[in-house]
Amino acid sequence: MASQTLNSSMQPTDVYGGDEVSAIILDPGYSSVRAGFAGEDTPKSFVNSHYGVNESGTVFGDDAIHNPLAALDIRNPMSKEGIVEDWDTATRLWEYSITSRLTSFKQADPRTNGLNDDLKDMDVEMDGIEEGEKPLEEHPLLMTETAWNSPKNREKSIEIAMESWGCPAFWLARNSVMAAFGAGKATALVVDVGASTASVLAIHDGLILKKSVQKSHLAGNWLSSQLRTLFETSEPKVELVPHYMIMSKSPVDAGAPAQATYRKYEKSPTDSFRALEEERVLTEFKESVVQVWPGPGRLNSNNQMGMTNLEYAKGQPGRVFEMPDGYNQMWGVERFSVSEGMFDEKAALPIPGEQPITKAQTIPEMVKASVNAVDMDLRSQLLQNIVVTGGTTLINGFTDRLNNELVAMYPSARIKIQAAGLTAERRFGSWIGGSILGSLGTFHQMWISRKEYEEFGANVVEKRCK
């Protein structure tokens, strides 16, 4: 009887504004591509942005690219700025991330979807796509982009969605706006520190303020190069040997040379492959060892006790990290100093062959520049709605430090930082925001429909997605 009162006429849409049209959200980044259905809370498909090329073809996805036997040349279709450079491959990479997990497109199985097959076979398959069904004919597509994406690139995105994938509707959203939506805010100052770029920008009512866009390269990859410098310069030098090179290892004391037998490869893997694999070790190191000095003050500044924070940090317990070859060491204050450069340009370790970083590239300075570029009336509101997102912000102490820096910078303003507590939510912040937006009933009027695209051309995206 009770079930009768709760019948179908009661649409929950009125309550939470959701009305799902099985839209797909695609959030490509430098380190990974996130794709999934709108309305879900994490992306179903999470694919490494790096892809491998060898003489037999191109492979995508973590299952394929970490194979040391395949003599893969590892590449990334994204530029260091986080925008697409190689459109052909980017298209295939995204297509892979969508079709491998999401749509019921006939190529769902990665073994048979042609993307990982011989080029000849794949061509056949691609032809099949062209003549027959397209992967997204049933699904509107919401794609994210960086705030500094070029108009040409934006037009290219809609062309791919409409022409290659046959989407009925398309929308292009800024990933920082999506991150703010994911945090439940329409007005926010978004601090996004990902793999290739760190950016700070202001959002008002769901639109980015273009003058406030600040970006620098002090992000995950830069931190990795700091780690490399640290390994190079430490005594004794720490060898960064990726897992695939190790056949076996035996335990050694801390600081003692590694005792491992190494694998030999007939055809030694490429440098880019090795770099990719080294990066995995470094990410592990970042996750478990690296820490940001939480403040107050900088690592090199004095505290109330009359000593520098550095000395204080030296007294803190260290962390042990074991390299793939078995070498292990206690990391003490170094784990603070590698990340300090993100906040204090003078503390950055010099990277050979690169310009020293400038003050303006540090995160607090970017916040300052960004805030100064918006209208006075908005500033205090922005400082109360700071959204922190991106994988690199997961380093321990990052938000504490940011908060301390900003409190010192704006003593009379109220600073409130919002950072998702869950790792997934922090890393997928912009995808989650897209998922929310894409499932809103009120969003249906926003989509750029196929007809509109045909009528106005690719330029329509510039006019509509502001």
Partner 1 sequence: MTSHDVRDMLDLPGEAAPRPAKKQKVAAPRPVLKGLAREVQNLGGDNPIAIVPEVSVFKKKRFGSRKPAAKWENRSFKNSARDDETLVLKHWRRKDESSAAPSGEGEAVAQDGGVVEDSTFAKYNVKVITPQYDDEQYQRHLQDNNWSKDETDYLVSLARDYDLRWPIIWDRYEYQPAINLDPETAEVAIVAKAENRTLENLKARYYTVAATMMKVHKPPESMNQAEFNLLELMQNFNPNQEKSRKQFAEAAFSRTKEEAREEESLLIELKRILARSDKLAEERRELYARLEAPPSTGNIGVFTSSQGLQQLLHQLMQADKSKKRRSIMGPDGTSPAGPSGLNQQPSFDRRESSVRESTSGPSGGSNNKKGPAQPGPTERRQLAPEEMQLYGVKIPERIPSSGPSFRSEKLQKPITSKSSVQQQKMLSVLTELGIPHRLIMPTIAVGESYEALLGGIATLIDQRKVMEKIQGEINTIKEKKRREEEERAAKMSGFGGDGVGDDRDVKVEEGEREKSAAPSMSDTGGQHKRSASVLSAVSEKSTKRQKK
Ligand X SMILES: Nc1ncnc2c1ncn2[C@@H]1O[C@H](COP(=O)(O)OP(=O)(O)O)[C@@H](O)[C@H]1O
Binding stretches for ligand X (CB under 6 A): 29-32, 82, 194-196, 220-221, 283, 286-287, 390-392, 394-395, 427
Token look-up 């760190």 returns 198
If binding is defined by CB under 8 A, does position 466 make contact with partner 1? yes
**Which tokens belong to 173?**
């959203």
If binding is defined by CB under 8 A, does position 275 make contact with partner 1? no
**Which tokens belong to 415?**
């600073």
Return residues touching Mg ion (CB under 5 A).
29, 194
State how far the Cα of 417 lies from the Cα of 432, in Å rounded to an integer: 18
If contact means CB under 5 to 8 A according to the sort of partner, which of partner 1, ligand X, Mg ion, none does residue 447 touch?
A: partner 1
State how far the Cα of 377 lies from the Cα of 209, in Å rounded to an integer: 14
Pairing of strands 448-449, 169-174: antiparallel
Please report how close the Cβ of residue 36 comes to ligand X at its closest, in angstroms: 14
Please report how close the Cβ of residue 444 comes to partner 1 at its closest, in angstroms: 4
The 3-state DSSP class for residue 304 equals coil
If contact means CB under 5 to 8 A according to the sort of partner, which of ligand X, partner 1, Mg ion, none does residue 297 touch?
A: none
State how far the Cα of 383 lies from the Cα of 389, in Å rounded to an integer: 15
- From residue 253, give the alpha-carbon distance in Å to each of 131, 281, 328, 329: 63, 20, 7, 8
**Contact window for partner 1 (CB under 8 A) among 10-18, 98-106, 234-242, 252-260:** 10-18
State how far the Cα of 434 lies from the Cα of 437, in Å rounded to an integer: 5
If contact means CB under 5 to 8 A according to the sort of partner, which of partner 1, Mg ion, ligand X, none does residue 30 touch?
A: ligand X
Hey, which residues between 16 and 35 contact partner 1 (CB under 8 A)?
Answer: 17, 19-22
If binding is defined by CB under 8 A, does position 377 make contact with partner 1? yes
Please report how close the Cβ of residue 56 comes to partner 1 at its closest, in angstroms: 40
Q: Which is nearer to ligand X, 218 or 313 (CB)?
A: 218
Q: How many residues bind partner 1 (CB under 8 A)?
A: 46
State how far the Cα of 362 lies from the Cα of 365, in Å rounded to an integer: 5
- Please list the residues that pair with 419 across neighbouring strands: 388
Binding pattern for the stretch 138-167 against partner 1, x by CB under 8 A and - elsewhere: x-x---------------------------
Q: Which is nearer to Mg ion, 29 or 269 (CB)?
A: 29
Q: Which of 56, 451, 457, 459 binds partner 1 (CB under 8 A)?
A: 451
| Other CB atoms within 10 Å distance of the CB of residue 27 | 28
H helix runs in 167-315, sequence order: 175-182, 220-233, 271-288, 309-314
If binding is defined by CB under 8 A, does position 374 make contact with partner 1? yes
Return phi, psi of residue 187, to 5°.
-120, 120
Q: Which is nearer to partner 1, 13 or 112 (CB)?
A: 13
State how far the Cα of 443 lies from the Cα of 436, in Å rounded to an integer: 10
Please report how close the Cβ of residue 449 comes to ligand X at its closest, in angstroms: 29
**Contact window for partner 1 (CB under 8 A) among 85-93, 103-111, 204-212, 228-236:** 204-212
If binding is defined by CB under 8 A, does position 62 make contact with partner 1? no
- Please list the residues that pair with 78 across neighbouring strands: 84
- From residue 42, give the alpha-carbon distance in Å to each of 46, 167, 439: 9, 22, 14
If contact means CB under 5 to 8 A according to the sort of partner, which of partner 1, ligand X, Mg ion, none does residue 137 touch?
A: none
Q: Which is nearer to Mg ion, 194 or 364 (CB)?
A: 194
State how far the Cα of 298 lies from the Cα of 308, in Å rounded to an integer: 9
Contact 180, 387 (CB under 8 A): yes
Residue among 453, 447, 374, 420 nearest 207 (CA): 374
Please report how close the Cβ of residue 29 comes to Mg ion at its closest, in angstroms: 4
Q: Which is nearer to ligand X, 18 or 391 (CB)?
A: 391
State how far the Cα of 23 lies from the Cα of 167, in Å rounded to an integer: 10
Contact 29, 20 (CB under 8 A): no
State how far the Cα of 371 lies from the Cα of 385, in Å rounded to an integer: 12
The 3-state DSSP class for residue 315 equals coil
Please report how close the Cβ of residue 389 comes to ligand X at its closest, in angstroms: 7
Q: Which is nearer to partner 1, 349 or 371 (CB)?
A: 371
Residue 292 CB contacts under 8 Å (≥ 6 apart), including other chains: 336, 339, 340, 342, 343, 395, 396, 397, 398, 400, 401
Please report how close the Cβ of residue 146 comes to partner 1 at its closest, in angstroms: 17
Please report how close the Cβ of residue 142 comes to partner 1 at its closest, in angstroms: 13
Q: Which is nearer to Mg ion, 197 or 309 (CB)?
A: 197
Q: Which of 44, 211, 243, 319 binds partner 1 (CB under 8 A)?
A: 211
If contact means CB under 5 to 8 A according to the sort of partner, which of ligand X, Mg ion, partner 1, none does residue 19 touch?
A: partner 1
Residue among 27, 8, 104 nearest 438 (CA): 27
Q: Which is nearer to ligand X, 437 or 448 (CB)?
A: 437
Residues contributing to the site for partner 1 (CB under 8 A): 1, 7-8, 11, 13-14, 17, 19-22, 138, 140, 168-169, 204-205, 207, 209-212, 374-380, 408, 410-413, 440-442, 444-445, 447, 449-452, 455, 466
